[in-house]
Amino acid sequence: MEKKTHRVAPSSEIPVQYLADYMDASNQARRGIVQKCKYKSLARTFQHQIARQTISDHILDGNPLPGDLLEKAVEVRHRIPDTEFDATLFGYNADFIEAFAASAAKFNFSDFEIVAPENIGNPTYNGTLVRFTPSLLTYRLTQANTQKVGAVMYRYAKGSPLSPAVGEFQAAFMFGYFSQNPFIEEAKPEHKLCRIVCAVSGKTYIAPAKAIYKFNEMKAVCYDIAEKWEKVPPPPSAII
């Protein structure tokens, strides 16, 4: 009996990062994104949770940027691996932390408060569940005593700066989501508090002026993704 290579997600779902990528992608690339979301590889994949958590903990602890992030990258790189996969995984995460440290002087986290992300939920729009996990939650109290909220998410692809269009779409999603589901009661989102930071370029993308328009476009596209879901074939040579 052949060993299975993929499992099928039973219903339409997409991480918010991929949804932002989808908005700025060609039709062919869009098909590939949906295929990747529907057919989950059973092979272990290289992900960046260690890097994201290391950076968030560094910032939440009140450390300066870059501070000792390079030393923390070395610690991650030299963790004792159980397998060759783990050794490569630690290296990938160390690369992420080093890139963020090199760009950190361009990031400003001083004009608002931050807290660790809570379980804020994964919304479903037009038949597609959007997986939304911010790295940090942001908030500030205005002089008029009104509460403003937002979030920070990191993006990193080695050697590939984030597309400005993708960064704006992802930040717009956060603004739109918090306009309907603020994590502080009766708070309103603020454009500059909804931030996507690119560890490669050192650029920060905030929710654009037309954030709600872009958010609504993303919700509308969720209907298209749900429609494509049943028709998208598995990757070549995949064993389901």
> Where do the structural domains in the chain lie, given as residue ranges?
113-220
Q: Does the pLDDT of residue 34 top 80, yes or no? A: yes
Q: Does the pLDDT of residue 181 top 90, yes or no? A: yes
Task: Answer yes or no: are the C-beta atoms of 39 and 238 closer than 8 Å.
Answer: yes
Task: Answer yes or no: are the C-beta atoms of 232 and 34 closer than 8 Å.
Answer: yes
Q: What percent of the chain has pLDDT over 70?
A: 99
Q: What tokens were used for 19? A: 């949804």
Q: What tokens were used for 66? A: 């870059």
Render pLDDT for 108-163 as a digit per residue (tens, 0 to 9): 998 999 999 988 889 999 999 999 999 999 999 999 999 999 999 999 998 899 99
Render pLDDT for 127-141 as a digit per residue (tens, 0 to 9): 999 999 999 999 999
Phi then psi for residue 71, to 5 deg, are -65, -35
CA distance 55 to 69: 8
Q: Does the pLDDT of residue 5 top 90, yes or no? A: no
Render pLDDT for 68-89 as a digit per residue (tens, 0 to 9): 999 999 999 999 999 999 999 9
